[in-house]
Structure 1
């Protein structure tokens, strides 16, 4: 990726994306990160070999891509201070802030910008992320490819053509790591009740999830078929799955994801109003 990229914000997610980019061949000297904390900048600069500065406007001035990686609560202030520089440079804007819609961010930046919204998730921190992306009408095909390559540095990318579907992405992948962590907790607790040491139960549960996810990602079969393949008639797995079905596990998951998507909509309204 030959573009000059500026990250406004140098936190964990920005660091993960920058690390993924450099590992995949991007030149560190083409990347700049900004933050108000010089110690934070020194650490990321030394670790990744990139340029750093506390001057947001200067970092944007010659950038082809600007990644907004600050907390949603301070996005308005950051964007409004950047607006003049963005209007002059006209870079591709990529926002990884949850909840803030493209129109709101574009207005805060002065309007008329090519803007991509991205909903990443925390496994991006270990290069196994899943990101949903949405582009406004001003984003070119070439800029879509840039955004795709940038987020592929930390995992897989799926585009949605309706911005409202990012709320569904939040429910399916953005918040979903916590669903699986809850499952690990529950399995560990049950394993202990059945007599296993906690550490043993935890390792078995996590490794099994890793193996199942790897199988699902590499298999030509859908999850329903893979599940059925594990279930022998009258066997242990069939008994466990039957109990989960009787307990309406599917409905619980569906309702939880609906609640997640609804909260995402509420947060978007709250953040836009400031």
Structure 2
């Protein structure tokens, strides 16, 4: 039976772990190290062995086959974590920490070279994450399969061949849900500005976007769907013309995503 350790079981780590438990993922026993785990989360994840720190794992002489790093990047960088006696050469390390490179992780995990970075998003909370991973070329196919099988429990999955592309992934899918939520907020506010009461504007903005997302989930062609719902010279065309004036919407999206990528690069310590 594989021993799987989650270092951090907050929103992202907890969401992924909950999905693994509900799907009876593999032949695994699950462990958590998280000193800040609240009571409700601890009860939900009570089938796992829960520890406040790594020292308690050492006292139990535990060695893990998979280590899932889901603490905040600054906690990882500013801590003196030591995994030497908790892992072995074939331990698979999967990190969802933004901006922390495989090389940086390897300094804390010198006993294994099976290190994989992954960028999921908040959709993991309901099993609809868009996750992307990178690993160095020496990582074994078995380790890649373990990471892919794990992350597909919470949504779609893809690989990139360059670690630098993880910055672009962060700007698109990692931060992307927030762009969507901000657009819904803007639609709601515009609706109230046009005279709708706040409750109705809220309902229409949210349910409209949910309905549109469901269509996109099936057809997966945003251009075809946009054309389908846009009558020539109609109301939708008038709105889209306003969005596209001077290519405003595309320029704004490019600018926003470039800002996210720049911040991701900055957090990684690269210039």
Q: Is there any run of 5+ residues in structure 1 with no aligned partner, and where?
A: none
Q: Structure 2: how far apart are the matches of 1:157 and 1:171?
A: 16
Moved more, 181-190 or 131-140: 131-140
**Taking structure 1 as reference, are residues 102 and 53 closer, same or farther at Cα in structure 2, changes over 3 Å only?**
same
| Residue 71 of structure 2: aligned partner | 70
Count of residue pairs the alignment pairs up: 266
Q: CA–CA distance in 1 between the matches of 2:93 and 2:39?
A: 25
What TM-score results when the alignment is normalised by the length of structure 2? 0.90
**CA RMSD after TM alignment:** 2.3
Are the counterparts in 1 of residues 89 and 111 from structure 2 also a CA contact under 8 Å? no
Deviations 1:98-143 (A, max 9, x none): 1111111112322652111011112212222111111123322122
Tell me, yes or no, if the aligned pair for 1:171 and 1:260 is still in contact at 8 Å: yes
- CA deviations on 1:199-241 (whole Å, 9 max, x unpaired) are 2112211111122122112116x21121011111111111111
Whether the 8 Å CA contact 2:63–2:87 is kept in 1: the answer is no
Q: Equivalent residues in 2 for 1:119-138 (5 A)?
A: 119-138=119-138
Aligned to 1:83: 83
The question of whether the paired residues in 2 share the 8 Å contact of 1:130 and 1:155 is answered with yes
1:153 pairs with 2:153:
yes
Tell me how far apart the structure 2 counterparts of residues 44 and 166 of structure 1 sit (CA, whole Å). Answer: 30
Shift of the 229–30 alpha-carbon distance from structure 1 to 2, 3 Å rule, reads: same
The equivalent residue for 2:54 is 56
1:8 to 2:7 alignment = yes
Residue 77 to residue 61, structure 1, CA distance change in 2 (3 Å): farther
Instruction: Tell me the TM-score normalized by structure 1.
Output: 0.89
- Name the residue aligned to 1:209: 209
CA contact (8 A) 1:127 1:155 kept: yes
| Partners of 1:63 and 1:89 within 8 A in 2 | no
Give me the whole-angstrom Cα distance separating, in 1, the residues matched to 2:10 and 2:204: 32
Tell me the residue number matched to 2:93.
93
54-63 vs 260-269, which deviates more?
54-63
Name structure 2 gaps, 5 residues minimum.
none
